[in-house]
């Protein structure tokens, strides 16, 4: 496994690869969710490149950039075990030289949900992902459904800007009790870890109501909120039932709907989602 710390080193190693390249961009502190993306990339491509870069431009002033968990040695051992060919690990000045003036912005899709709660977040994500795509030149790139808005925004960006790759969304990986895997779960103390199950429970409730024939988004939203409010350690940011293409809130659920939520449990703000009806 080669480690490239500069863009020049990455390009030099990339030139030596033959055939398709699967790319998994990450911010490190890897868990089974990331590794499932690497495995899918491994299964579908001749070579695999992963990146580890905690991207400062997607964190707001009140976010946890400096406290974001990091464990590079462990990450590299895990990526090596999955037969990753190249790991790109630049430092911030390599990606953002002081004279950089350009941003990539996706309108509309980024207004609500995470975009509504974290102004500027998606501008940072779409800019870094574009830069990584331009540097790595992958055939396919893999994103987890846990960050569903991010995955849909990147898919749209790749389509709108005629980027020459396929953006693939892979299923959320969960702990055995249902908690969606996230690097931020490390911040949960044991009582909060238990309380965090309320996210998955509320999604199950939505699924159950939908399966029983409920089609009023408002009624499902209200039932989910009531359930979460019974957990004193949980503080709701949003509970959304939205159109899977536009991410606009729905009154009535048609063929399918994206049910997503952000809930603060102790220090971390946790995300989860499911799609009612067909898969995305």
Check if the beta carbon of residue 34 is closer than 8 Å to that of residue 22.
no
55 binds ligand PAF (CB under 6 A): yes
Check if the beta carbon of residue 218 is closer than 8 Å to that of residue 251.
yes
Taking residue 183's Cβ as centre, other Cβ atoms within 10 Å add up to 20
36 binds ligand PAF (CB under 6 A): no
What is the signed CA dihedral for 129, 130, 134, 137, rounded to 10 degrees? 60
Kindly tell me which of 125 and 196 has the beta carbon lying closer to ligand PAF.
125
27 binds ligand PAF (CB under 6 A): yes
Three state DSSP letters for 150-215: HHHHHHHHHHHCCCCCEEEEECCCECCCCCECCHHHHHCCHHHHHHCHHHHHHHHHHHHHHHCCCC
The distance of closest approach from Cβ of residue 249 to ligand PAF in the complex, given in angstroms and rounded to an integer, is: 24
> How far is CA 273 from each of CA 3, 106, 144, 209, rounded to the nearest angstrom?
34, 21, 11, 15
- Determine whether 34 is an active site residue: yes
The distance of closest approach from Cβ of residue 74 to ligand PAF in the complex, given in angstroms and rounded to an integer, is: 16
CA angle 198, 204, 209 (to 5 degrees): 125
**One of 79, 128, 152, 263 touching ligand PAF (CB under 6 A):** 128
87 binds ligand PAF (CB under 6 A): no
Kindly tell me which of 228 and 271 has the beta carbon lying closer to ligand PAF.
271
**One of 10, 13, 23, 25 touching ligand PAF (CB under 6 A):** 25
Kindly tell me which of 128 and 136 has the beta carbon lying closer to ligand PAF.
128
The distance of closest approach from Cβ of residue 128 to ligand PAF in the complex, given in angstroms and rounded to an integer, is: 5
The distance of closest approach from Cβ of residue 63 to ligand PAF in the complex, given in angstroms and rounded to an integer, is: 12
Q: Among the candidate windows 40-48, 72-80, 121-129, 252-260, which touches ligand PAF by CB under 6 A?
A: 121-129
Check if the beta carbon of residue 186 is closer than 8 Å to that of residue 28.
no
Q: Among the candidate windows 22-30, 61-69, 73-81, 98-106, which touches ligand PAF by CB under 6 A?
A: 22-30
Taking residue 8's Cβ as centre, other Cβ atoms within 10 Å add up to 11
Within 16-105, residue ranges assigned H as helices are: 32-44, 72-81, 92-95
21 binds ligand PAF (CB under 6 A): no
147 binds ligand PAF (CB under 6 A): yes
The distance of closest approach from Cβ of residue 27 to ligand PAF in the complex, given in angstroms and rounded to an integer, is: 4
What is the binding site for ligand PAF (CB under 6 A)? 25-27, 55, 58, 125, 128-129, 147, 150
Enumerate the active-site residues.
Answer: 34
């Amino acid at each position: 496994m080669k480690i490239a710390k500069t863009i020049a080193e990455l390009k030099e190693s990339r030139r030596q690869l033959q055939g398709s390249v699967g790319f998994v961009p990450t911010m490190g502190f890897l868990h089974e969710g990331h590794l499932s993306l690497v495995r899918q990339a491994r299964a579908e491509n001749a070579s695999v490149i992963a990146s580890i870069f905690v991207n400062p431009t997607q964190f707001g002033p009140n976010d946890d950039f400096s406290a974001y968990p990091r464990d590079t040695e462990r990450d590299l051992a895990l990526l090596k075990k999955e037969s990753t060919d190249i790991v790109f690990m630049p430092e911030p000045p390599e990606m953002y030289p002081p004279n950089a003036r350009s941003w990539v912005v996706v309108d509309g899709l980024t207004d609500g949900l995470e975009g509504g709660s974290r102004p500027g977040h998606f501008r940072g994500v779409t800019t870094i992902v574009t830069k990584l795509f331009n540097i790595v030149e992958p055939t396919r790139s893999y994103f987890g459904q846990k960050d569903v808005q991010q995955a849909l925004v990147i898919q749209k960006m790749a389509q709108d800007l005629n980027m020459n790759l396929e953006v693939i969304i892979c299923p959320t990986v969960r702990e055995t009790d249902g908690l969606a895997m996230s690097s931020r779960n490390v911040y949960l103390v044991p009582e909060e870890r238990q309380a965090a199950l309320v996210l998955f429970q509320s999604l199950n409730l939505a699924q159950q109501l939908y399966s029983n024939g409920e089609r009023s988004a408002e009624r499902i939203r209200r039932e989910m909120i009531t359930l979460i409010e019974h957990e004193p350690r949980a503080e709701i940011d949003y509970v959304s039932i939205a159109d899977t293409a536009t991410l606009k809130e729905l009154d009535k659920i048609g063929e399918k709907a994206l049910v997503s939520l952000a809930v603060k449990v102790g220090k971390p703000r946790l995300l989860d989602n499911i799609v009612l009806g067909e898969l995305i």
